[in-house]
Structure 1
Amino acid sequence: MKIGILGAGRMGRGLAELLGKAGHEVVVGSRMPGRSSFPAVSLNHAITRSEVVFIALPHTAIEPNAELLATVTPDTVVVDLANGVRVEDGRIRSVLERPHGRWVADLLPQARVVRAFTHVPDELLVSRAVRQPNTWAIAVAADDAGALAIVSELVRSAGYVPVPVGDLNHSAVLDPGGPLFPNMYLPGDMCDLLDRQGA
């Protein structure tokens, strides 16, 4: 597939490496492509040439780029992996009062938003996939069954096992403060944890 990854940080670069090795045509978009140490194009170029767009930008960069993000064509699959993190009383929490995936879907009503790759520590993304392929779980949430299927296949392409966890209204389990964040699980362990949480 033609994939655009918005954000040239560790998660964006890691996904580009994994999905590129799997045979997908991947470009990485940066807010400052000329200053990136990784080959990158503009965010606009990454959006306009892609069938699937990954938002790997910092949470704080999403609203300032909302007008640009709104140019994604109708029915484009948009994968939200950004996290708005705050620390309260020594605990990780989300900066939002609603699930991050629902927040992005409300910003981009024309898109088919999927929440995935949010609970993976960035320093483990590539190493776990390369050293132990098809072993570790990635939780995936979406309202659209077709978009969920597309992203689940991309999760497999990246070397992980997709575990659907419900729609975007129930995707807070992937967010900061949720039971999955910021850890990695085997598929069975993830399902057991979510069952115990009643998620």
Structure 2
Amino acid sequence: MRIGILGTGRMGQALAELLRGAGHDLVIGSRTPGEASFPTVTLGEALTHGEVVLIALPHAAIEANLALLSTIAPETVVIDLANAVLVENGRIRSALEQPHGRWLADLLAHARVARAFTHIHDELLVSRAMRQPHTWAIAVAADDVAVLTIAETLVRDAGYVPVPIGDLNRSSVLDPGGPLFPNMYLPGDMRDLLRRHGA
């Protein structure tokens, strides 16, 4: 696939390494192109490069770049990796009143949004995929079955086992404060945990 990754942080870099290794044609878009220690393009160039766009920007940067994100071509598959994190009274939770994936899908109504790669530590993403490929689970959510299939394919290509959890309205389990955040699970353990939480 042609993939544009928005964001040059650890998650964006890790997924670029894994998905490029699986044979995908991708670019990494930066808010400050040229300042990174690896090749980057502008966010706008990354948007137009990809038939799939991975948003690995901080939550606040999504809102700040909403006008640009609104130019994503209609029907583009968008994988939402961002989290709106709030720490309150010693507890981590989402700063949103709705699942992050639903929030983004409402903002980008012309795109086709899925949620994946959000509940794991970014610093473990490459090492677990390389040392124990196709062992660890990543939960995936989307409203559209075809979009869910694409997200599952990218999860497999990154070296993980996709666990579909339903539509974006159910995706709060991936968000800060949800039962999956911020940990990694084997597929069976993840399914057991989700059943215990009624997901």
Give the whole-Å Cα distance in 2 for the aligned partners of 1:33 and 1:188. 41
Give the whole-Å Cα distance in 1 for the aligned partners of 2:88 and 2:192. 27
Stretches of structure 1 that go unaligned for 5 or more consecutive residues are: none
Give the whole-Å Cα distance in 1 for the aligned partners of 2:87 and 2:38. 30
Give the whole-Å Cα distance in 2 for the aligned partners of 1:142 and 1:37. 34
Aligned to 2:189: 189
Q: Secondary structure at the match of 2:169?
A: helix
* Post-superposition CA distance 1:54-111 (Å, at most 9, x none): 0000001001101111111111100000001011111111010000000000110001
Aligned to 1:96: 96
Give the whole-Å Cα distance in 1 for the aligned partners of 2:96 and 2:38. 31
Q: Secondary structure at the match of 2:65?
A: helix
Aligned to 1:137: 137
Q: What is the count of residue pairs matched by the alignment? A: 199
Give the whole-Å Cα distance in 2 for the aligned partners of 1:37 and 1:68. 24
RMSD: 0.5
Contact (CA 8 Å) 1:3, 1:52: kept in 2 or not?
yes
TM-score, length-scaled by structure 2: 0.99
Aligned to 2:45: 45
Q: Secondary structure at the match of 2:86?
A: strand
Aligned to 1:149: 149
Contact (CA 8 Å) 1:176, 1:182: kept in 2 or not?
yes
Aligned to 1:163: 163
Shift of 1:7: 0.1
Q: Which ranges of 4 or more aligned residues in structure 1 deviate by more than 2 Å?
A: none
Stretches of structure 2 that go unaligned for 5 or more consecutive residues are: none
Q: Secondary structure at the match of 2:20?
A: helix
Give the whole-Å Cα distance in 2 for the aligned partners of 1:122 and 1:150. 21
Aligned to 2:113: 113
Is residue 178 from structure 1 mapped to residue 146 from structure 2 by the alignment? no
Give the whole-Å Cα distance in 1 for the aligned partners of 2:93 and 2:150. 29
One-letter amino acid of the counterpart of residue 100, structure 2 = H
Aligned to 1:30: 30
Q: How do 1:54-65 residues align onto structure 2 when only pairs under 5 Å count?
A: 54-65=54-65
